[in-house]
Chain A
Amino acid sequence: GAVVSQHPSWVICKSGTSVKIECRSLDFQATTMFWYRQFPKQSLMLMATSNEGSKATYEQGVEKDKFLINHASLTLSTLTVTSAHPEDSSFYICSAQGGAYEQYFGPGTRLTVT
């Protein structure tokens, strides 16, 4: 149980284009999902909290107009990186919250912007 999927697993795009990443909880409903980014050999940095049916809450320093989050259902949250630039290249990971506030992570999406 508690399986979270992410799609795509990796993506290469050109500077200026937009990329959408999907996060799905496969066998449970998640009213709350989280989006993180992780640079090599560094910790997980929380970008935003995604709540089903309401606007996402962004962490300080994260541009909400650049990283668009939509939590359309209890099993799906999407992160769209708009007008991507090389500095946006990173490992993006989503997680879905369980009943005891534990988090189940998706396999991650490696984004490379050329």
Chain B
Amino acid sequence: QQPVQSPQAVILREGEDAVINCSSSKALYSVHWYRQKHGEAPVFLMILLKGGEQKGHEKISASFNEKKQQSSLYLTASQLSYSGTYFCGTPGDSSYKLIFGSGTRLLVRP
């Protein structure tokens, strides 16, 4: 089942922070985060594992909520290059497949 992302879109000023959420109907043991710029392929940002371990981008962090049915991606001190559509990916019916969320459009303005 496709995870639900919120918000659908957000506009920031450069330097501001943002939080993007990814919700699932079942407990997650991992969440992947990707960013896609218009006309380009998605780029891997990070993986959040069930124990809270994170692998990926230095300036981006993520967490699970208490029930591990929601993951939040934290973008701090946003830069213009952060603009794009963010997708979360959660494991499908097998651990190696990902089901991607609906996406969150982020626009960072000067």
Contact = CB atoms under 8 A, between A and B. Distances in A.
A13 to B, nearest CB: 20
Contacts of B44: 2, 102-105
A43 B103 contact: yes
B96 A49 contact: yes
A58 to B, nearest CB: 12
A105 B96 CA distance: 15
Interface string B48-89: 000000011000000000000000000000000000000101
Given A100-B47, A101-B30, A108 B98 contact: no
Contacts of A49: 96-97
Nearest to B91: A101
The prevalent SS among residues of B at the interface is strand
Interface residues of A, number: 20
A69 to B, nearest CB: 15
Contacts of B30: 101
Interface of B: 2, 30, 32, 34, 40-44, 47, 55-56, 87, 89, 92, 95-103
Interface of A: 2, 32, 34, 42-46, 49, 93, 97, 100-108
